[in-house]
Amino acid sequence: MSNLSESPGERFSAALHTSARLWRLALDKRLKHLGIGQSGWMTIAMIAKSGEPMSQRALADLVGVEGPSMVSMLDRLERDGFVVRAPSAQDRRVKLVQLTDAGSTVYAEVINEATTFRADLLAGVDPAALAAATTLLETLRKRIEDAL
């Protein structure tokens, strides 16, 4: 619920944070049948989108978790047959993660559900408003990345 005394910037940041959190929660609810939580399917999606094996550190950064949390997540995903880890040819201390066929199947389900969810959610939204919002968010992302 917004407070009318908040500045437009405060209202925007609150709406952005809440909408992003609710978007992930709603999608997670739709993916509950996979038997893995949000961190699991997000990790699988990041690996799939990379198109090549990724280091555990790079995955942790993309998913937004600490290294030990990613190791625990990958232990579970590996145990369940969704990923495999192998030492890097360049640095044997670095473990590279890639999807198995079962992981690719899960990713296909995630993409299918996410596409349907997004289409349902954005149905009837003015295309110009969507384009403007997208441009704004991409601009903010770039400014944040540049500031880091």
Q: pLDDT digits over 31-43, tens only?
A: 999 888 888 998 9
The residues that bridge with 83 in the sheet, in sequence order, are 99
- The 10s digit of each residue's pLDDT in 61-98 is 988 889 899 999 999 999 999 999 999 888 888 899 99
**0.95 exceeded by pTM:** no
Flag whether pLDDT at 20 surpasses 60.
Answer: yes
Sign of CA dihedral 111, 107, 15, 144: negative
- In whole angstroms, what separates CA 86 from the centre of its chain? 23
Position 106 confidence tier, pLDDT thresholds 50, 70, 90: very high
Q: Check whether 2 has a pLDDT greater than 80.
A: no
Nearest of 17, 74, 20, 12 to residue 43 by alpha carbon: 74
If one counts every other C-beta atom within 10 angstroms of the C-beta of residue 62, the result is: 17
Percentage of the chain lying above the pLDDT 70 cut = 97
φ/ψ of 85, rounded to 5, equals -120, 140
Question: Taking all residues of the chain, what is their mean pLDDT, rounded to a whole number?
Answer: 92
111-135: average pLDDT: 96
Q: How confident is the model at residue 4 (pLDDT cuts 50, 70, 90)?
A: low
* Amino acid of residue 6: E
Q: For residue 5, what is the DSSP state?
A: T
In the chain, the domains with their CATH numbers are 35-147 (1.10.10.10)
Query: What is 82-106 written as a DSSP string?
Result: SEEEEE-SS-TTSEEEEE-HHHHHH
45-50 average pLDDT score: 94
Q: Is the pLDDT of residue 134 over 90?
A: yes
Which amino acid is it at 102?
A
The predicted structure's pLDDT at residue 35:
87
CA distance 59 to 71: 10
**pLDDT on residue 130:** 96
Q: Find residue 54's DSSP bridge partners.
A: 97
User: Does the pLDDT value for residue 1 go beyond 60?
Assistant: no
- How many Å is the maximal CA-CA distance in the chain? 57
| Cα(120)–Cα(106) distance, integer angstroms | 21
